[in-house]
Structure 1
Amino acid sequence: MKLTPLEIKQQTFEKGLRGYDVADVQAFLTLVSNEFEHLLNKNKELEHEIEKLTDRVKHYERVEEALHETLQTAKESVEQKMDGAKQEAKSTLQKAEMEADAIIKEANHQRQQIRQSILRLLDRREEIINGISSYLDNAKKSVNQFSKDDMGTFKLPKEEDLEESIDKVTSKSSYSRFELDEEDLEISSYEEEDSAFAPGSDRLDDILDEID
């Protein structure tokens, strides 16, 4: 049975011949009542404080649980991101390797084409050099041939020899056999013009165009 401070104060006892002193009993009851009231108030304060602490503990427990869940979620998210980053890096590396292989193959192909083009140009250069050399040889032969004067045709005769030749020519009655038709002169002039150019000289312009 619970007692209150008021019940302790109002508690009465039967009187006997040799009973307790009423004033002492009443004073003791008052003291006990006051102390009991103080203890009850203190107990209420402690219970209230316990409730507050309990609520705070529950709050911290909820916070701890939320933090744990957050950390777990963050950990899983980080692991997923790391796995995704690893896969992406692997894919990027493979793609880069494939592109590098393709670039190297293309470069080798272009190098082979350039090499073939250079070889063709060198062959063509050799052909042009041979053509020019042949032309120059033919031109030199033509110049040498043209410069020959075995018959002394291009030598200027002495004045006395010239007068003697003129006298002989005028003295002969068969002078007409030294006459030449205009047609024969034209033909001979054409032949001289043609012989002035070396064989193969008609391809000189084509060869120079190819060199350009």
Structure 2
Amino acid sequence: MKLTPLDIRQKRFEAALRGFSKREVEAFLELIAGEFEEVVKENIGLKEELKRTQLRLEQHLERERTLQETMVTAQRISEDMKAAAKKEAEIILADAEHQAEKIVHGAHQRLVQVVEDINELKRQRTQFESQVRSVVDAHQKLLETFSGRTFADKDYARVEDNVAYLTQKKAQSGE
């Protein structure tokens, strides 16, 4: 049973012979009721303050949970961003390696083509030198043919001999 200040004020005692002084008992009861009223008011105030404090505590706990969730989410996002950045870096690196391979392959193809072109030019040079030698040899033989006594030279010599013979005969007959 809860006792209120009003209960204390309304409490009445039976009168007994040689009992306590009614006025003193009522004054003491009034004093106790006043004190008890103060205690009850203080208790109510403390309970209200406790409720407010508990409400603030719940709000702080809720904020703390929210902050923890936010931190966990931020950490997860950070890890996801790191993973995405790492994956993107790997993709960029793979693409760069692929581009480098293409460049090296292209340079190798170009080198092979240049070597083939050089070999073709060497072959053409050798062929040209051979053709020039053939032409030079043919002209050399032609020159050699012209420098020796030719059939025409021999015929001309015979014609000269004949002309000299005829001139001499004419000179002898007309002399």
The equivalent residue for 1:13 is 13
Q: Does 1:57 align with 2:85?
A: no
Q: Does 1:113 align with 2:113?
A: yes
Higher helix share: 2
Q: Which amino acid aligns with 1:17?
A: L
Q: Which stretch shows the higher mean deviation, 93-102 or 7-16?
A: 7-16
Higher RCO, 1 vs 2 (CA within 8 Å, ≥6 residues apart): 1
The equivalent residue for 2:88 is 88
Q: Which amino acid aligns with 1:70?
A: T
Q: What SS does structure 2 have at the residue aligned with 1:29?
A: helix
Query: Matches of 2:91 and 2:20 in 1, distance apart?
Result: 101
Query: Matches of 1:31 and 1:113 in 2, distance apart?
Result: 119
Query: Matches of 1:104 and 1:2 in 2, distance apart?
Result: 96
Query: Matches of 1:17 and 1:95 in 2, distance apart?
Result: 112
Q: Normalising by structure 1, what TM-score?
A: 0.54
The equivalent residue for 2:38 is 38
Query: Matches of 2:14 and 2:113 in 1, distance apart?
Result: 133
The equivalent residue for 2:3 is 3
Q: Which amino acid aligns with 2:14?
A: E
Query: Matches of 1:69 and 1:114 in 2, distance apart?
Result: 66
- Consecutive unaligned residues of structure 1, counting only runs of 5 or more, are 146-173, 175-212
Query: Matches of 1:10 and 1:68 in 2, distance apart?
Result: 56
Query: Matches of 2:94 and 2:71 in 1, distance apart?
Result: 34
Query: Matches of 1:89 and 1:117 in 2, distance apart?
Result: 41
The equivalent residue for 2:25 is 25
Q: Which stretch shows the higher mean deviation, 18-27 or 38-47?
A: 18-27
Q: Does 1:97 align with 2:97?
A: yes
Shift of 1:31: 1.0
Q: What SS does structure 2 have at the residue aligned with 1:38?
A: helix
Query: Could you tell me the percent identity over the aligned residues?
Result: 34
Shift of 1:62: 1.7
| Aligned pairs for 1:54-203 within 5 A | 54-121=54-121
Query: Matches of 1:6 and 1:105 in 2, distance apart?
Result: 104
Q: Normalising by structure 2, what TM-score?
A: 0.63
The count of aligned residue pairs is 147
Q: Which amino acid aligns with 1:107?
A: A
Shift of 1:91: 2.6
What whole-Å deviation, never above 9, does each CA across 1:97-134 have from its counterpart, x for those lacking one? 12211211110221232233345456666777895xx8
What whole-Å deviation, never above 9, does each CA across 1:138-165 have from its counterpart, x for those lacking one? 8xxx9xx9xxxxxxxxxxxxxxxxxxxx
